[in-house]
Amino acid sequence: MAAFFFGLLLFAMQPPPIPSRPAERGDGDQGPPLSPTASSPLALNDTGATGHPNGTFKQLPHIIIIGVRKGGTRALIEMLSLHSAVAAAENEVHFFDWESHFQKGIPWYLSQMPFTLPDQLTVEKTPAYFTSSKVPERIHDMNPGIKLLLILRDPTERVLSDYTQVFYNRLQKHKRYQPIESLLVKDGEINLGYKALNRSLYHLHLQNWLRYFPLESIHVVDGDKLIRDPFPEMKRVERFLNLEPQINASNFYFNKTKGFYCLRDHGRERCLHDSKGRAHPHVAPAILHKLYRFFHEPNRKFFELVGRTFNWN
């Protein structure tokens, strides 16, 4: 923690950053700006207007998508980026969960953010944050008023997606892989040592976040609904972030070839990478039933924590 505040001290001594031209949208229009509602106490206080023709600068994030892995974080940040008042970091930053990055301090973290107009909100997403025990306290130390987005799917489906990603990664690298049954079940029982299972125990991880943030600061996005019908879920995200309503149904269209929704922005169409939406491996019905039963009680505890239910098996 001492290293964190030492980095903060060094950051405070830095001169204002040199502005750069923000990424242009399809028609060159930045859209109506919106004032941030949860400005970080560590963000730059330079408005960027004096001496900078395009008025851009870097800010620490006002919004962080904290997870979960294989929950739909890429789709969420792409859809959120449809809003002209939101600017997203290009890559997963892993600042708060990777010690090698965290030791570089706040100035390095700031350098990973996009250039924005003063009235835009900055967002970054790192799915591993949700399941890392040390991350909530570190983010709270940076900005206790930050807005957090958490996108979750049916925990069984998330486990299967997790395995599928690792399976294809190992396949491409010509590495050996284990059949999913051997990972899910050990000695006839659910294998609690399988990391993918632990990531789906949502209530355990959320309890850690609630030690530092009120539930009102965390919006849970239904990842299964986002896949089936993204527009209503994104309207809820807009309201949580106090954004001017701007995302509309015409921003989404169903791609029959890919089997999921793609985006339409200022006349341009784009879809998620081909690695998204891969078919899951076949799992014996008996093992699936065992998984459903295993997650029944953890799911109930999670529903109690958030005060709502989800249509999970």
Q: Which residue positions form the known binding site for 3'-phosphoadenylyl sulfate?
A: 70-74, 153, 161, 261, 276-280
**Alpha-carbon gap, residue 88 to 5, rounded angstroms:** 25
Euclidean distance between CA atoms 181 and 178, whole angstroms = 8
70 labelled catalytic: yes
Catalytic residue among 70, 175, 195, 290: 70
Rounded alpha-carbon distances, angstroms, from residue 243 to 88, 246, 247: 15, 8, 10
d(CA 154, CA 292): 10
- The 3-state DSSP class for residue 296 equals helix
Which residues define the annotated binding site? 70-74, 153, 161, 261, 276-280
User: Strand locations in 141-284, DSSP E?
Assistant: 147-152, 185-186, 189-190, 218-222, 252-255, 260-265, 268-270
Burial class (CB in 10 A: 0-12, 13-18, 19+), 165: middle
Contact 158, 295 (CB under 8 A): no
The residue to which tokens 């006002």 are assigned: 62
Report the catalytic residues: 70
